[in-house]
Amino acid sequence: MGKLDGRVVLVTGAARGQGEQEVRLFRAEGAEVVVADVLDDRGKELADEVGALYVSLDVRREDDWRAAVRAAVDAYGRIDGLVNNAGILRFNTLVDTPLDEFMRIVEVNQLGCFLGIRTVAPVMSDGGTIVNTASYTGMTGMAGVGAYAATKHAVLGLTRVAALELARRGIRVNAMCPGAIDTAMSNPALLDPDVDGEAASRGLDRFYRKVVPLGRIGKPEEVARLALFLSCADSSYITGQPFVIDGGWLAGVSVG
């Protein structure tokens, strides 16, 4: 028996990275999955491979959300789970961040999460689950990614309020706070066919050894396992909480 047998879960930003691994694991655990992204070719290919439904969904757009929910309900009759995973990262100090860059990050990371909750929760089955992907930078500061960190703090606020408002229907809402994870976001070399992605990953491991107690960058498959935990009955008494998955990075500093 799979941990998600009979459940229908929509994952945003699902064409690659953490979202892709969530799709693969959720399918393996018996869920019907709606793969949602703006990367249509890659998303369709993944959906075809694992037997899921692909929907083109820009999380900033209300119409796209409405169409995605309609497509999910038409195909599977219900929605039991949502993983708000889509996100973008830009590097800039606050004083150098152009307004349009700040707003774009807000639109994808924060507004996208809000629209997901607002559109999906009303049609979600009682007892459903929402998992919002925040970040290590939702729990603490990080110089050079101020706009991103602000949106990820906001995602935790949305998570807590949604948990309070939806609890009467048994809908649980939690957040994941990944540290550095080996996807295109942290390791753009993975997108470059001319670069050895594994060598780039080893380079990142060497870098993160200095700051992450477990001595390596995280894997998207590890985040997917946390998303599964928060989307299935194993977490049945947990709601409104952030879950840090960061190899110990946030635990503190070592002086030795």
Residue type present at position 106: V
Q: The tokens of 119 are what?
A: 């559109």
Q: What is the spatial distance between Cα 159 and Cα 157, in angstroms, rounded to a whole number?
A: 5
Among 11, 55, 158, 180, binds ligand NAD (CB under 6 A): 180
Q: Of 54, 76, 148, 208, which residue is the catalytic one?
A: 148
Comparing CA positions, the residue from 21, 57, 19 lying closest to residue 38 is 57
Among 34, 53, 57, 139, binds ligand NAD (CB under 6 A): 57
Residue type present at position 131: V
Q: The tokens of 253 are what?
A: 């500093």
Applying CB under 6 A, does 174 fall inside the site for ligand NAD?
no
Which residues are 218's β-sheet partners?
181
Going 149 to 151 to 152 to 156, the CA torsion angle's sign is positive
What DSSP string runs through 220-232? HHHHHHHHHHHHS
Angle at 176 between CA 168 and CA 251, to 5 degrees: 125
Q: What is the spatial distance between Cα 81 and Cα 79, in angstroms, rounded to a whole number?
A: 6
Q: How far is the CB of 51 from ligand NAD (least distance, A)?
A: 19
Q: What is the spatial distance between Cα 176 and Cα 208, in angstroms, rounded to a whole number?
A: 20
Residues 196-255 that bind ligand NAD (CB under 6 A): none
Instruction: For ligand NAD, give the closer residue by CB, 125 or 203.
Output: 203
Among 108, 120, 124, 162, binds ligand NAD (CB under 6 A): 108
Applying CB under 6 A, does 17 fall inside the site for ligand NAD?
yes
Asked if 36 contacts 69 with a C-beta cutoff of 8 angstroms, the reply is: no
Q: How far is the CB of 225 from ligand NAD (least distance, A)?
A: 14
Q: How far is the CB of 238 from ligand NAD (least distance, A)?
A: 20
Whether residue 148 lies in the annotated active site: yes
Tokens 């998992």, residue located: 131
Among 3, 30, 50, 58, binds ligand NAD (CB under 6 A): 58
Which residues are 245's β-sheet partners?
178
Asked if 192 contacts 151 with a C-beta cutoff of 8 angstroms, the reply is: no
Q: How far is the CB of 103 from ligand NAD (least distance, A)?
A: 13
Of the candidate spans 34-42, 44-52, 196-204, 233-241, the one that interacts with ligand NAD by CB under 6 A turns out to be 34-42
Q: How far is the CB of 219 from ligand NAD (least distance, A)?
A: 10
Of the candidate spans 83-91, 123-131, 164-172, 201-209, the one that interacts with ligand NAD by CB under 6 A turns out to be 83-91
Applying CB under 6 A, does 13 fall inside the site for ligand NAD?
yes
Residues 112-171 that bind ligand NAD (CB under 6 A): 133, 135-136
Q: How far is the CB of 178 from ligand NAD (least distance, A)?
A: 4
Residues annotated catalytic, as ranges: 148
Binding site for ligand NAD (CB under 6 A): 12-13, 15-19, 37-39, 57-60, 85-89, 108, 133, 135-136, 178, 180-181, 183-186
